[in-house]
Each structure stands twice: as C-alpha cells, then as structure tokens.
C-alpha cells in the first residue's frame, strides 16, 4: 500500500497543472535571432521536439508543451536549446548550423561577450532585459516575445531581433503544426527526421 501511495503521489506531481502559463494546450510563439558581432547567423534547423518547445526552421520558437516538464516555470530556454542541439554559455554559442561562436575571438579588435536579450514586440520592439549568464533558465513568459542570442562587444547590448524573425513571428498562427513529440534520438545530425 505504501509503494502504491508513493507511486500515485509521484504521478500526480508529474501531471499536475502548473500555476503559471504556458500550460498544456497553450500555443505561444516567440521570435529569435542569433548574431555574431552584428552579423545574423543561420537559425535552427532541427525538427526535434521532445517536450513541445521547438522551432520549425523558421526563426520562431513554438511553445505548446506536451508534458508538465515544459510548462509554467519549466518552460525555459534550455528546453529549446536541447531540442535544437545547441548550447549557449558565457564562453560560446554553439549550434549545428553556425558551429561555435566563441567570445574569446572578440569582435574585430574589441573584447566580446555572449548575451541573450528579451524584447517586447507589441506595439513596437522594445528591449526588456539582458542576460549574461545562466541562459538555459531564461523563462518564456508570454506569447509574442522575441529573443536575441548574440556575441557582442563587451559593454554593448544585443541588437534587436531581425526583420526576418519578426516577419516569421507575424506569420505564425495559433494552430500547432505538431501534435506528437519528436524525440532527440529520431533526428539525424542535419536536423532531419530519421527515416522520415
């Protein structure tokens, strides 16, 4: 009886509705851009989507959680980065599409740093906050935000999201394109679905 009781508590906690959005059933969009010293680099190409926070090769983060591990306060940048086979640290931005963008390489003759910026996009593009560490824990707070992941000269903020990303955000609809998870191990090194 005790083992059964513990098992029920674990299942209930794993499936409970989060107090804060996004919740299972929500569908949000956020634009994103990646810059290397002011030059935009290719956006993510992976089709992986284990938890419902991913991109469709379109410079937009699609946020429609499949499970409680990507809802509420757990809807974080780390979930997107894992699905896109990318990492962002204070030392470097690493993606399959752009390789490694190292802060140590600087921007021209200037020292460089890695930062992530959150922008509001409605009614106009406005810088809200800048992060210089712990990038994976950046939360997705609402529908229609924009994020810029960038290597920039030390002392500078990331540039605004690109016009391409903002146009893709405006073109996004509220209907999920995927209704089932796509595990990481079903995606090849080019980001394509294996046998798909």
Residue 17: CB atoms within 10 A of its CB come to 10
Distance CA 105, CA 91 (A): 10
pLDDT band, very low/low/confident/very high, at 145 (cuts 50, 70, 90): very high
Q: Which pLDDT tens digit goes with each residue over 14-58?
A: 555 556 899 999 999 999 999 999 999 999 999 899 999 999 888
* Residue 113 host element (H or E): strand 112-120
Task: List pLDDT tens digits, range 59-111.
Answer: 999 999 998 989 999 999 999 999 999 999 999 999 999 999 999 999 999 99
Token code pair at residue 115? 């930062």
**Close Cβ partners of 83 (under 8 Å, ≥ 6 residues apart):** 46, 48, 49, 50, 51, 53, 54, 55, 184
Question: Could you tell me the pLDDT band of residue 176, with boundaries at 50, 70 and 90?
Answer: low
Q: How far apart are CA 155 and CA 117, in angstroms?
A: 13
């Amino acid at each position: 009886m005790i083992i059964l009781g513990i098992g029920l508590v674990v299942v209930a906690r794993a499936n409970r509705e989060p107090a804060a959005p996004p919740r299972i059933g929500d569908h949000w969009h956020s634009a994103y851009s990646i810059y290397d010293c002011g030059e935009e680099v290719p956006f993510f190409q992976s089709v992986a989507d284990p938890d419902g926070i991913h991109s469709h090769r379109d410079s937009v983060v699609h946020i429609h959680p499949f499970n409680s591990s990507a809802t509420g306060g757990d809807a974080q940048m780390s979930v997107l980065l894992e699905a896109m086979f990318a990492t962002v640290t204070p030392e470097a931005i690493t993606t399959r599409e752009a390789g490694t963008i190292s802060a140590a390489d600087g921007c021209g003759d200037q020292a460089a740093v890695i930062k992530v910026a959150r922008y509001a996009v409605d009614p106009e593009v406005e810088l809200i906050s800048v992060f210089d560490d712990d990038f994976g824990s950046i939360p997705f707070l609402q529908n229609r935000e924009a994020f810029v992941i960038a290597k920039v000269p030390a002392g500078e903020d990331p540039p605004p999201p690109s016009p391409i990303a903002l146009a893709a955000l405006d073109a996004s609809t509220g209907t999920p394109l995927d209704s089932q998870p796509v595990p990481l191990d079903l995606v090849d090194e080019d980001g394509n679905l294996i046998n798909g």
